[in-house]
Amino acid sequence: MRVAVNVAIAGASGYAGGEVLRLLLGHPEVSVGALTAYSNAGERVASAHPHLAAHPALGDRTFVATTAQQLAGHDVVVLALPHGASGAIAAELEALGEVPLILDCGADHRLVDPDAWRAYYGSEHAGTWTYGLPELIVADEPDSNVTRQRERLAGATRIAVPGCNVTAVTLGMQPGVVTGLVDPTDLVAVLAVGYSGAGKAPKAHLLASEALGSAVAYGVGGSHRHIPEIVQNLTTAGAAEVRISFTPVLVPMSRGILATTTAPLIPGVDPATVRGAWEAHYADEPFVRVLPEGVWPASGATTGANTALVQVAVDEKAGRVVTICAIDNLVKGTAGGAIQSMNIALGLPETLGLPTTAVAP
C-alpha cells in the first residue's frame, strides 16, 4: 500500500494557508500533518475555515504554534506566511535538516537579485530557491535542454511559489516575449484584484463598508513589490530588457485577478501571426487555456480552479498587443501553484489533486 505524503502547513489560518489545506484535503497522495498559526494558535481549525468543518480529516483539530519543531518531521512543509516571516522559519528548518521539501508561498525566496529584494522589501535577502511556475518559458539558457521551468522543479527540495499578480502577467505576455513579437521595454499592466489578495488581517480599508461599490489602486508608480519578479520572469523568457508600468486595482470581489497587459507590436510583424504564438506555447499546458478568438477571460470563470484563461488581440490602430489573463489568486495564484510544483518535485502527476472546473455563480 502506498504511503501518503505527510504535509504540514505553516500559517494555515490565513487565506492562502486555508486554500492550501482545502486542496490538500482532496489530494489522493497526501495526509495533512501539523497546521500552525500565530495569533490563532490553540483555536479550532473549523473556526477559521468553517467551509472545511465537515471534512472528516479535520474533526476537532486545533492550530498549533508556528515553530520549527512543530513543522519538522514532515515530508513537505508549505509556508503560507507573511513576507519576511518565512525566511526565518525556513532557516530554522534547514538547521534541523528534517524536511525533504519546503514550499514558500511568501516572497522571501523568489528573487535572484538580492539588491532588487533590498530595494523593494527593505531587508536582507533570505536566498533564492527554485522558482515554482512550471509554465514559465526558459529562454535564457540557449545551450540548455530546459525549455520550461517544470524541468527545473523535478526533484527540487526548496521551491519559491510565485506572486499571484506575477503569475497572471507572466502567463499573459511571455509568448510574445519569447517569440520576439512584442517590445518588452514598453509594457503596461493594469490588474483588477480581489480583496483576498490583501490577506486576512483586519484593516480599515479592507472592511466591506469601505470596499463594496468602490475600486482603489495601490502600489502605484513603480512601487509594487511584484515588479522585480515580473521583470525576472520575462528576462528568463528571453527579454534583454524589461520596463513595465504596473498598476493593481482592488475591486469588490473576494478573489480573482483579471490582468490586462499591453506591449508594442514589433514593426513589420503580421498581426495575423500573433495569436498562433500564444496557441503554440500553451497547446500542451494542462492549466493554461487560450480562449477561442473573441471570447474574453472572466475572473469568475476560474474561481476555485487551478486554471489560467488567456486571450490575445492586436490593437492595430495603437500598434499594441493586448493580452488578458484571468486566474483565481488563491488557487493558480498561490495554493494551487504550490501543489502543482509539489507534485512535480515529488515525481507525482502534475495535475494530481488540482481542480480545473470552477464554481459559479
Domain membership of residue 250 as a residue range: 165-329
Answer for the pair 12, 18: CB distance below 8 angstroms, yes or no: yes
Q: Which residue has the higher pLDDT, 216 or 199?
A: 216
- pLDDT band for 143, please (50, 70, 90 cuts): low
Is 164 among the catalytic positions? yes
pTM equals 0.96
Check: CB of residue 242 under 8 Å from CB of residue 170: no
Q: Is residue 351 part of a domain?
A: no
Residue 320 has pLDDT above 70, yes or no: yes
192 and 294 housed in the same domain: yes
pLDDT over 50 at 158, yes or no: yes
Same-domain pairing of 16 and 60: yes
The verdict on residue 358 lying in a domain is no
Q: Which of 9, 23, 45, 164 is catalytic?
A: 164
Q: Which stretches within the chain are classed as H helix?
A: 15-24, 45-48, 68-71, 86-96, 114-121, 150-153, 164-178, 208-211, 227-236, 274-282, 336-346
* pLDDT at res. 256: 98
Grid coordinates of 291: 480562449
Under the banding of pLDDT at 50, 70 and 90, the label for residue 310 is: very high
- The domain that holds 309 is classified in CATH as 3.30.360.10
pLDDT value for 1: 37
What confidence tier does 202 reach under pLDDT thresholds 50, 70, 90? confident
Is residue 242 included in any domain, yes or no?
yes
**Residue 352 within a domain:** no
In SS3 terms, 73-101 reads as CCCEEEECCCCCCHHHHHHHHHHHCCCCE
pLDDT (average), residues 285-309: 98
In a domain, 360, yes or no: no
Question: What pLDDT band is residue 208 in, cutting at 50, 70 and 90?
Answer: confident
11 plus 122 within the same structural domain: yes
Residues 290 and 182 in one domain: yes
CATH code (residue 40): 3.40.50.720
Number of structural domains, the chain?
A: 2
Instruction: Report yes or no on 170 lying in a domain.
Output: yes
Same-domain check for residues 88 and 205: no
- Model pLDDT, residue 6: 97
